[in-house]
């Protein structure tokens, strides 16, 4: 219980400047104690005989020092039936976090655990190990995208109160933005969900503070204390829309991106219950787990390890152009075959404007009229149109574009081959972004309700209408922007995947795909989990959710089901006969009182590779 009658400044008084608010990380100290467990407990990366245990422990006198503690695992909550114990230490270099790889456990077993230091005990957590041999049922909770200043983590509370064997967190565990950026004003102004530090996080201390803030949330602490986690990062653990060498939300004024990424990885290593190297800088995060004979869980990194810079419609989409002969004899438009008849200095390629004044686009090919035009000087009713065919054939089909990296691709193929060889029933790919083919939906102005949309979104939606006619991808940041790499993965799934299930986060919305290769052959299913509390498509589109869902499915034959307007999580139940997905949607993120509505179950039976 926090001391009553003391404000935050008084609570911090007495802690040396070397420790102070940075080491507290949003935690307010209790009455005098030699040590403080500041952020609860967590467990993760379970195997059949071990599990990672996590806590955070700071010295009570406010002076930096080495801190020692013990840990215990027992069969009962009273710790009368101890099965494993040991000691650990931490210090400022580890941000006072403690991680233990607790061994000597039995397969498929529930345990209680805690940490002890000088008669001060941590909260008690619950965990369990993975099974061996035959498994009749395994229940996973899948979640992603939890943004503190968007509202409460009611999704985590519901997951904490649900019987699960394991929680998969598919990224965006934190967000990097500064105070007031990508935030809900009700959450910040009325619910006191402001971020710490107030600036966009860049340094190691910034990232540590942001994790510390999130881990003070009682609902996040509850789900960690209740279930073991297996996690991967997405972009916001680094910076929005990042790749291996940079990010959309990173500029030169913010320093070297690789240095920022090292800070992000180190904080992730310290604060997450993940099995990592002793170096303290999170090594490649892709890894795998065996769930008895029932499944292989293969966790991928589609964000940092080998991802090349995403394509961007605003930058990479070419406009329709014309090739002109600009010799003294004239300025005529020629076709590509005629270009061989001229020298390069006799040719000039420029964007072709189209006149829409008649209601249908008419190309303007008068070289003298159009040669000096720009986007800003186009006459009223004239527009440049995208060259979708060239974009598809060149940028989208580029065989060198990769979202995994060649080494991770090879590793994935070998993991799938090994899974097939050992006769595992399911191959579960836990990763960040949608792999299913999702095309831009064709919507009318009336369906888009442009008059109700924020002005800054209207040009984007109007461009979406234009691109939808050419069946272009909805999201180039997903696997749709790395089609050749996806084709290779689908080949691997077709060869080695017995019953593949791909899991994804990132979008904040709920998706279910029947995945197919370019020949239309089924290769597996995909489940996209809704976000914990980050807003979805309903924030940007005023379109009725049912209308949008129908348009999405009409444009994307692989899309089996979708919900574009609700937050929550996915419950995936695996048996030797079927994989069953059910979305659980929470009614609000702005009130601690909430209800839960569960969607209709989606079932994929063994051997089908499709939802039915």
Predicted confidence (pLDDT) per residue in 261-281, tens digit = 999 999 999 999 999 876 656
Question: Residue 509 — pLDDT band, cuts 50, 70, 90?
Answer: very high
CATH class of residue range 32-129? mainly beta
pLDDT in tens, 368-425: 899 999 989 999 889 888 999 999 999 999 999 999 999 999 999 999 999 999 999 9
Instruction: Decide whether 32-129 matches 396-565 in CATH topology.
Output: no
d(CA 341, CA 451): 51
Task: Identify which of 44, 93, 89 has the alpha carbon closest to the alpha carbon of residue 70.
Answer: 89
pLDDT recorded at residue 280: 58
Percentage of the chain exceeding pLDDT 70: 95
**Mean pLDDT value of segment 250-256:** 96
pLDDT recorded at residue 9: 36
**Mean pLDDT value of segment 322-342:** 81
pLDDT recorded at residue 20: 67
- What percent of the residues of the chain are helix, what percent strand, and what percent coil, each to the nearest 5? 25, 25, 45
pTM of structure: 0.93
Furthest-apart CA atoms within the chain: distance in Å: 98
User: Among 214-218, 229-233, 410-414, 446-450, where is mean pLDDT lowest?
Assistant: 446-450
pLDDT in tens, 24-69: 887 776 557 788 999 999 999 999 999 999 999 999 888 889 999 9
Strand, coil or helix: 563: strand
Domain range list for the chain: 32-129, 319-385, 396-565
pLDDT, mean over the chain: 92
On the question of pLDDT at 7 being above 50, the answer is no
pLDDT recorded at residue 14: 45
d(CA 541, CA 311): 23
d(CA 139, CA 143): 13
Question: What homologous superfamily is domain 396-565 in, according to CATH?
Answer: Alkaline phosphatase D (PhoD) (3.60.21.70)
pLDDT recorded at residue 10: 39
**Mean pLDDT value of segment 274-290:** 82
Residue 135 in tokens: 């498994």
On the question of pLDDT at 471 being above 90, the answer is yes
């Amino acid at each position: 219980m926090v001391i009553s009658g003391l404000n935050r400044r008084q609570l911090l008084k007495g802690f040396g400047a070397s420790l102070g608010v940075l080491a507290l990380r949003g935690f307010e100290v209790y009455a005098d104690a030699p040590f403080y467990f500041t952020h609860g407990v967590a467990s993760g990366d379970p195997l059949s005989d071990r599990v990672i245990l996590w806590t955070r422990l700071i010295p009570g006198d406010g002076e930096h020092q080495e801190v020692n503690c013990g840990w215990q695992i027992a069969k009962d909550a009273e710790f009368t039936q101890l099965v494993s114990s040991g000691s650990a230490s931490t210090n400022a270099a580890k941000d006072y976090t403690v991680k233990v790889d607790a061994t000597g456990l039995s397969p498929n077993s529930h345990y209680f655990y805690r940490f002890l230091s000088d008669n001060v005990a941590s909260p008690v957590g619950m965990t369990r190990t993975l099974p061996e041999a035959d498994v009749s049922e395994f229940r996973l909770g899948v979640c992603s995208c939890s943004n503190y200043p968007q509202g409460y983590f009611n999704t985590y509370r519901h997951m904490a109160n649900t019987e699960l064997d394991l929680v998969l967190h598919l990224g965006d565990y934190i967000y990097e933005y500064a105070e007031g950026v990508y935030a809900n004003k009700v959450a910040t102004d009325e619910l006191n969900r402001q971020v710490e530090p107030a600036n966009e996080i860049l340094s190691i201390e910034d990232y540590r503070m942001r994790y510390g803030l999130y881990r003070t949330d009682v609902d996040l602490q509850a789900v960690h204390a209740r279930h073991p986690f297996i996690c991967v990062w997405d972009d916001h653990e680094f910076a929005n829309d990042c790749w291996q060498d940079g990010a959309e939300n990173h500029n030169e004024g913010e320093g070297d991106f690789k240095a920022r990424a090292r800070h992000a990885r180190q904080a992730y290593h310290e604060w997450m219950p993940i099995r990592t190297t002793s170096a303290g800088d999170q090594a490649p995060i892709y890894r795998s787990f065996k769930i008895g004979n029932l499944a292989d869980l293969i966790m991928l990194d589609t964000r940092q390890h080998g991802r090349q810079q995403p394509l961007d419609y605003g930058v990479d989409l070419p406009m329709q152009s014309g090739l002109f002969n600009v010799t003294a004899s004239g300025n005529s438009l020629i076709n590509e075959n005629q270009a061989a008849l001229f020298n390069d200095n006799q040719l000039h390629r420029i964007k072709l404007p189209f006149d829409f004044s008649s209601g249908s686009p008419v190309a303007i090919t008068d070289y003298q009229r159009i040669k000096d035009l720009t986007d800003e000087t186009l006459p009223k009713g004239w527009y440049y149109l995208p060259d979708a065919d060239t974009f598809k054939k060149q940028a989208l089909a580029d065989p060198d574009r990769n979202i995994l990296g060649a080494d991770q691709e090879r590793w994935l193929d070998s993991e799938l081959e090994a899974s097939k060889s050992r006769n595992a029933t399911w191959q579960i790919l836990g990763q960040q972004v949608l792999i299913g083919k999702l095309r831009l939906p064709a919507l009318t102005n009336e369906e888009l309700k442009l008059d109700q949309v924020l002005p800054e979104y209207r040009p984007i939606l109007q461009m979406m209408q234009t691109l939808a006619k050419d069946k272009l991808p909805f999201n180039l940041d997903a696997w749709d922007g790395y089609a050749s790499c996806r084709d290779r993965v689908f080949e691997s799934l077709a060869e080695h995947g017995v019953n593949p299930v791909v899991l994804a986060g990132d979008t904040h919305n709920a998706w279910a795909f029947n995945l197919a290769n370019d020949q239309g052959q089924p290769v597996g299913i995909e489940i996209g989990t809704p976000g914990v509390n980050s807003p979805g498509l309903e924030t940007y589109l005023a379109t009725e959710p049912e209308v949008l869902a129908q348009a999405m499915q009409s444009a994307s034959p692989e899309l089996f089901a979708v919900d574009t307007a609700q937050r929550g999580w996915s419950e995936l139940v695996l048996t030797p006969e079927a994989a069953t997905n059910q979305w659980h949607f929470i009614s609000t993120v702005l009130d601690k009182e909430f209800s839960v509505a569960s969607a209709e179950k989606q079932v994929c039976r063994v051997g089908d590779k499709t939802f039915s």
